[in-house]
Amino acid sequence: MHTFGIAGYGTIGRLYEEVLRRFPSCRLVAVGDPDSSAAMTHEVENVIIATPPSTHAAIAAEALRRGKNVLVEKPPAGSVREAEGLIAMARSAGRTLFFGFHARYNVAVQRAAVELRGRRVESFHAVYRENVRKYHTNAWVFREGVLRDSGVNVLSILTAVLPGAELLRIDGADLQHSDELDSDVAVRLRFGGTCGVLEMDWLEPGAEARHVDVVTGGGTFRIDIITDSLYLDGRLAVTDNRTESLDREYTRMIADFIGHVEGGRSCVSLNELRLLEEVYPC
C-alpha cells in the first residue's frame, strides 16, 4: 500500500484526492492546508505538493529531508539552480523526486513524441487561449503570471515532443501586462534554431483553444490538448476524449509516479525552467 499526504488543498489538491481514490494500492492519510507539515506525518511515504508555486521548492526540500518520496506540481522550483538542489537531495536520500508536468500525460502529446522522433521539424506554432478565472480563484495565480502557470504546460509539451528540445532557445518575448491584475496576461515567444512561435492569452473571452502545430518534411501534426487528439495532415491519428482532459492527464501521471516509486527512480526535467529563465532571468 502506498500512503500519501497532500500539501495544499485547493482545486488541484482536491483533484489529486479524487484521482488517488481510483488506485486500490494508494491511500490518502493526510492533507495539509495551509500548514503543509500536516501532510508529512510518519504514516506518509509519498508527498504531493499542490501549494502555490513560490512555495514548491521549500516544501519539497522539507519532504525530502523527512525521507518522503515527492511529487511536486509544476513549476517545481523558481529556478534551475533550486531544482538542481532538489535533485541532489533526492539522490542523496535515495528517494523518488517527480516533477509534475501533467500536460505531458495527454495521449496526443505522448503519441506525438513517438511520431516526431527522428523527424526534421521545419516549424511549430503553439496557441493557448483560455480564461484563467474558470480554473483559478486564488490571487496567487496572477502573481505567477501567464507564462509561469499555463505557459510552463506548453513548454513541457514542446520539450517532450520536439527532437533536440534541449537546443530550444527563446529569441524574443513580447509580454502583455495588466495593471489591474498586476500580472502578465498574454505573451508571444519566438524560438531560435527552429521557426517556432508560442502565443498565449490568459483572459480569452470566447472559445478556448489549446493546440500545438508541428510542421515536418513528412506532414503537419496538430496536438489538440482540449480533446486529447492528434491529427496528421488533418486526419485523426489518436484520441481519448472520454473524460475531461485534465482528469485524464493527472490519472496517468499518478500511475507513472507510482511506477517510479516502485522502481526507485526519479523523473525530473530542467528544460522548462531553463526556458522560463530566458524570459525571466533570475
Query: pLDDT 10s per residue in the chain (282 long)?
Result: 999 999 999 889 999 999 999 999 999 999 987 777 788 888 999 999 999 899 999 999 999 999 999 999 999 999 999 999 999 999 999 999 999 999 999 999 999 999 999 899 999 999 999 988 887 766 777 887 778 888 999 999 999 999 888 889 999 999 999 888 888 889 999 998 668 999 999 889 999 999 999 999 999 999 999 889 999 999 999 988 665 678 889 999 999 999 999 999 999 999 999 999 999 887
CATH of the domain at 158: 3.30.360.10
Number of domains in the chain: 2
Q: What is the pTM (predicted TM-score) of this model?
A: 0.93
CA distances from 269 to 33, 100, 104, 182 (A): 27, 10, 12, 29
Statement to judge: residues 59 and 169 lie in one domain = no
Q: Could you give the CA distance from residue 85 to residue 113 in angstroms, rounded to a whole number?
A: 28
Q: Are residues 76 and 59 in the same domain?
A: yes
The answer on 136 and 36 residing in a single domain is no
Long-range Cβ contacts of 130-134 (<8 Å, 24+ apart) = 130/201, 130/202, 130/204, 130/208, 130/209, 130/210, 131/202, 131/203, 131/204, 131/205, 131/208, 132/202, 132/203, 133/203
Q: Are residues 43 and 115 in the same domain?
A: no
One domain, residues 146 and 160: yes
Q: Are residue 78 and residue 114 in the same domain, yes or no?
A: no
Task: Indicate the SS3 state at residue 5.
Answer: strand
Query: Using an 8 Å Cβ cutoff, are 129 and 73 in contact?
Result: no
* Structural domain boundaries, residue 144: 103-241
- Number of helices (H), then strands (E), belonging to the chain: the values are 8, 13
